[in-house]
Structure 1
């Protein structure tokens, strides 16, 4: 008797299992050291089973990275939406950014520690990446429109992004010995605002 075809829900559930296992292996060993056979073995299925759901390891990596990008963007977008005014957006984004990295370190690593030379092959990953980039610039554009900042929104947004990323990486690696990450973030941001000759939004809680 032929096997009953899997439902869409069953297919989605197994894909999620593959992604969960692969994510753990990617983080532990690095994507270059993970094979489809290892993923299958960890799942307890035959070596060919994952190929019924994904073309190859790169597609799995692209899928889990896209999901991580979307989760990252959603967290920051929600923080911006909840900020009471344009002046509060910078603090809201910074707090949400740090909270995401500390709460979901595996997702953060998938986003920023790993890259794929053929990302253009995966439209979902490309769109997720673009969403994250827009998220890190859109709130700056709103601050410029409100007269709180002057300059190129993308450049300023990327300056803030680089600052947040650097602090987060140092904190996760226990590299800020003797220095509180929030204090460092506040001082750097104030210095950046002063360099742009504008009054900084309040950074105190």
Structure 2
């Protein structure tokens, strides 16, 4: 019997279904729990059908990471819209970053785990990864335009990004064991980056962040 042809919309829906099922398996049992056989069992399809949509497990994981990164970006974007003054954007962005890593720790780890192929192998994932950082650049540029920071927006955004990522990497690895919590560390860390790049109204910016 010839294989039934699906419309592009139906294929996209099945792909999303498989990604969602893969994420459910991962969240319940980690990366080791994700396999095409278990994916097929979870969705009630043949064990060979997932290969029609994903070449291998790495391709499936890349699609799962895309979904997580886009959700992460949406959280960050909503935080910026909710903030008013330019200096508040950075604090709101940072709080959203930290909040996502706390609420969706498994997804955050999936996004940033070091045990994954280069994003360059998956252009869709690379583009998805770029979007949250580009939002950080926009936030920093607005703060520079307001005279609160000086310098190259992309370089300063990297400083904030590395600071937040380092903090939450320790948190998600349960390695904040030296007496300070995320909440106690976040404000001084942000204030340090702000002070290091303070503009004409730099003292005001540090006060607003701390």
Q: TM-score range by the shorter chain?
A: 0.7 to 0.9
CA positional deviation for 1:202: 1.4
Which residue number in structure 1 is paired with residue 183 of structure 2? 182
Aligned residue for 2:120, secondary structure, equals helix
- Residues 56 and 173 (structure 1), Cα distance of their counterparts in 2 relative to 1, 3 Å cut: closer
CA positional deviation for 1:74: 1.5
- Structure 1, residues 33-84: CA drift from partner, whole Å, max 9, x if none? 8542343344443220212332332221111111211111121112112211
CA positional deviation for 1:186: 0.8
- Structure 1, residues 95-134: CA drift from partner, whole Å, max 9, x if none? 1111111122222112111564353343321211111220
CA positional deviation for 1:11: 4.0
- Cα distance in 1 for partners of 2:2, 2:117 equals 41
Q: Which runs of 5+ in 2 are unaligned?
A: none
RMSD: 2.7
- Residues 4 and 196 (structure 1), Cα distance of their counterparts in 2 relative to 1, 3 Å cut: closer
- Residues 131 and 115 (structure 1), Cα distance of their counterparts in 2 relative to 1, 3 Å cut: farther
TM-score by length of structure 2 reads 0.81
- Structure 1, residues 13-40: CA drift from partner, whole Å, max 9, x if none? 4333321332344564437x85423433
TM-score by length of structure 1 reads 0.83
CA contact (8 A) 1:90 1:201 kept: no
- Residues 8 and 201 (structure 1), Cα distance of their counterparts in 2 relative to 1, 3 Å cut: farther
- Residues 135 and 42 (structure 1), Cα distance of their counterparts in 2 relative to 1, 3 Å cut: same
- Residues 89 and 116 (structure 1), Cα distance of their counterparts in 2 relative to 1, 3 Å cut: same
Q: Which runs of 5+ in 1 are unaligned?
A: none
